[in-house]
Amino acid sequence: MSSLRQPYHGLERKLVLAFDCGTTYSGVSYAILDPGEVPQIKGVTRFPAQENVGGDSKIPSILYYDSQGKLCAVGAEAMQESVIEQAEDESWWKLHLRPKGLASSQISDDDLPPLPKNKSAVDVLGDFMKYLFQCAETYIKDTHSPEHWQSITNNIDYVLTHPNGWEGAQQAQIRRAAIRAGLVSDTPEGQSRLQLLTEGEASLHFCIENGLASDSATNGQGIMVVDAGGGTIDLSAYYMSKSPLSFEEIAPTECRLQGSVFVTRRARAFLAEKLAKSKYGSPEDLNNMTSVFDKTTKLRFRNPDEPSYIKFGGVRDKDPDVGIRSGQLKLPGSEVSALFEPSVQAIIEAIEKQRNGAHKAVTSTPFFSNKAVADGAMAYYLDHRVSARVSSKTYGMVCSTIFRKDDPAHRARMHTLYTGASGHQYVQHKFTSILPKPACLRTRSFDELTVKRPARKN
């Protein structure tokens, strides 16, 4: 909906960069803001060695480090054979940042590839964001001009996306990574140039940018956005108003650790068991088959009643006992379907939970087969279409309260009693809610007076 976008009212030229650091693939979008002109969202569509990954506007979220923890290659460059032979890859690193309480039964740190020597997840994210910035700089210089870049290099804002389930601790890690990448300084002024955004809300703005709020959409419609990504499934539900155009959250956001990488993870375990007694059960063959499954078989699967194939070798590779002929492993469609089932069920459960928790009916789920979270993040920065959000947790503080001897909970904490300056007796360790779950609030700071002095006795 760029036709509704207002001209930039700033006094000097500014660059805004949006980074979508995904579990499997990542992208960069940008907008150059010139005073009095309507900003346009553009994508960085050229990256080094991009021919290795199909040449689209995203790059693999892969970094290669040597045995000493030195960064050797990033993104599509890390897919080059000369690099693969010399270094160890670091993938799925984003999931090391996850909240440990988020669907903890599905994944543990032991399930993830180990981090490089002397590197934390924040370090790896910082290295990756530094690389994305360098790619954006090169692209803008080549597409516009070096002089154009020079005019904005000291006035850059950033939008960084993260899964719906990432909370304060994870957001703080992202900010530290941005500082280590050299994007912003560790000062209040530097932090003011950095905005964090959930992938769910970025996806909503991408949908708006691509026609969600067109004339055919109904005013007052309840909309659910399901972002099925590489690592997480992010769900957000909104109520749409068209005069003026705005969206309000109508349920707490949901996040599930059941993205596409977990389908591949289950495939690796399934193949290891299936080929345990075959000569093709070596780690090298399993890694090769898993890679082929991830890039082709998984994407082509449609029908559990039809077989799927993993083409991993040549015509001489065969083992009829496990279904391998001419370098191709045949799998019943039902077995492949079972690899998807946990993710499908997680999506269904999350949808039902969000529908049941919404305070308005959800009547539509827009479908976009190939989203661009970075584009949505840019649209968020420029348009800010979400006017209200629903708290997903109860926020509050621990305080003291006047002791009531008729309250069993107070009597159980009598060992914390003390006498205040007013002469009243107080009991400690009371949790006072400031913002309850789920509460719908406008996009503003939320505060509440929680300390009151008792009235004096006459």
Question: Where do the structural domains in the chain lie, given as residue ranges?
Answer: 2-199, 260-341, 395-442
**Residue 449, CA distances (Å) to 260, 395, 397, 419, 453 in order:** 45, 14, 12, 22, 11
Residue 318 and residue 324 in contact, taking contact as beta carbons nearer than 8 Å:
yes
Per-residue pLDDT at 105 exceeds 50: no
Query: Two tokens at 154?
Result: 């000291």
Q: What is the pLDDT of residues 28-50, one digit of tens each?
A: 999 999 999 999 999 999 888 77
* pLDDT value of residue 102: 64
- As a whole number, the mean pLDDT across the chain is 85
Q: Tell me which of 3.30.420.40, 3.40.50.2000, 3.40.50.720, 1.20.58.1000 is the CATH number of domain 2-199.
A: 3.30.420.40
Q: What is the pLDDT of residues 108-152, one digit of tens each?
A: 666 677 788 888 999 999 999 999 999 999 999 999 999 999 999
Opening angle at CA 191, ends 188 and 193, nearest 5: 120
Q: What is the pLDDT of residues 265-321, one digit of tens each?
A: 999 999 999 999 999 999 999 999 999 999 999 999 999 999 999 999 999 999 999
Per the listing, tokens 């155009």 go with 245
Residue 125 and residue 63 in contact, taking contact as beta carbons nearer than 8 Å:
no
State how far the Cα of 113 lies from the Cα of 128, in Å rounded to an integer: 17
Per the listing, tokens 């988020």 go with 102
Q: What is the pLDDT of residues 172-230, one digit of tens each?
A: 999 999 999 999 999 999 999 999 999 999 999 998 888 876 655 567 778 899 999 88
Q: Band of the pLDDT at 104, cuts 50, 70, 90? A: very low
Q: Is the peptide bond before 113 cis (omega within 30 degrees of 0)?
A: no
Q: Band of the pLDDT at 106, cuts 50, 70, 90? A: low
Q: What's the whole-model pTM score?
A: 0.82
**Residue 379, CA distances (Å) to 38, 39, 148, 455 in order:** 12, 10, 22, 52
Residue 236 and residue 224 in contact, taking contact as beta carbons nearer than 8 Å:
yes
State how far the Cα of 243 lies from the Cα of 380, in Å rounded to an integer: 18
* pLDDT value of residue 251: 87
Per-residue pLDDT at 452 exceeds 50: no
Q: What are phi and psi of 78, to 5 degrees?
A: -75, -10
Paired strand residues for 195: 159
